[in-house]
Structure 1
């Protein structure tokens, strides 16, 4: 869910109702209205059969200080550290985290590696050694020019309860649940400033309707 541009109104007020596919006509460009439902469907093609077992496995974020980031993603967001990989010759470390039961992590290192890379929707935190003490080092979160990467999203049972926890722990908010037109949806920042959407699946029905 994006919140960076005014034309996206979340729950559309009368003046912000998108035109129907029939009303839009062929004379409107994508810059006027985005793709119609038909155009979006037409742009999507059936994948090659070989892609049947492909899956979304990881999103990588570069982090300045792994101590701060690991604390945030485990203690604040409740993730589990699945595995850590050190690359001394290239002076960086990878930390893989996700919502998995610690009891299911294999003890054998090779089995654990295969298991880690078979998990869905993990976060890969990349730490380049020494960045934590470099005052000039920071990472671009993609939400200011030049814009690119936007955010990751975390689904929670209760957005307000989650945000109460975040407030109690001094987490930085981009948007609190009752800010703006999209109620019950929040955005927070991790220690490096990356945006994280906090959403409730059921509430998204009303937000996107």
Structure 2
């Protein structure tokens, strides 16, 4: 039997026309590419798959992910662009040129009022080791794994103040009601 999804009011059976649709990436606006790229590549081990510059509109896009060990990534830039837009779990960092010279955090994190966007999430193999790694890298915590009502979940902030949830999947089996 194949899984057809949990059913709630408003849920529809996926129309056949949507076959093959998949979520490719989530975009965050960043102030300073050097700081943000440093954070995501150092703290989360992500790799920059592709950078696209749009000079006429004065912005750059950086696509980051964690390719699987042994996964073949095209060397040719055009082929790698197509490959990138065919992946799952990609983080797009958008840099509007000139923002790096502005003072302080310049983008709304979605968690302050008025609330909107909340967070992105990384799954890690060992939550305690990840928490120790974040401490060693001076990462800003919102919530540690032993704090609050929701145990075994960490929330940290990236350099732009965006919240990142960090979980160990095996610890979440009894999550919720």
TM-score in terms of structure 1 length? 0.78
More helix by percentage: 1
CA distance in 2, matches of 1:104, 1:92: 29
CA distance in 2, matches of 1:150, 1:56: 17
Aligned residue number for residue 150 of structure 1: 118
For residue 206 of structure 1, give the secondary structure of its aligned residue in structure 2.
coil
Aligned residue number for residue 192 of structure 1: 160
Aligned residue number for residue 42 of structure 1: 9
Q: Does 2:91 match 1:123?
A: yes
Instruction: Quote the RMSD (CA, aligned, Å).
Output: 1.7
Aligned residue number for residue 67 of structure 1: 34
Structure 1 residue ranges without an equivalent (≥5): 1-37
Q: Does 2:54 match 1:87?
A: yes
- CA distances 1:12-69 after superposition (whole Å, capped 9, x unpaired): xxxxxxxxxxxxxxxxxxxxxxxxxx9x623201122111100010100000001010
Aligned residue number for residue 129 of structure 2: 161
CA distance in 2, matches of 1:49, 1:186: 38
Taking the TM superposition and a 5 Å limit, the aligned residue runs for 1:95-106 are 95-101=62-68, 104-106=72-74
For residue 39 of structure 2, give the secondary structure of its aligned residue in structure 1.
helix
Matched positions, count:
171
Over 4 Å off, 4+ runs: none
Structure 2 residue ranges without an equivalent (≥5): 1-5
For residue 115 of structure 2, give the secondary structure of its aligned residue in structure 1.
coil
For residue 172 of structure 2, give the secondary structure of its aligned residue in structure 1.
helix
Contact map agreement 2:105 2:161 (CA 8 A) in 1: no
Contact map agreement 2:122 2:166 (CA 8 A) in 1: yes
Contact map agreement 1:83 1:112 (CA 8 A) in 2: yes
Q: Shift of the alpha carbon at 1:101?
A: 4.6
Q: Which has the larger radius of gyration?
A: 1
Q: 1:202 to 1:101 in 2, by over 3 A?
A: closer
Q: 1:111 aligns with which of 76, 79, 87?
A: 79
For residue 118 of structure 1, give the secondary structure of its aligned residue in structure 2.
coil
Aligned residue number for residue 138 of structure 2: 170
TM-score in terms of structure 2 length? 0.91
Contact map agreement 1:80 1:101 (CA 8 A) in 2: no
Q: 1:137 to 1:72 in 2, by over 3 A?
A: closer
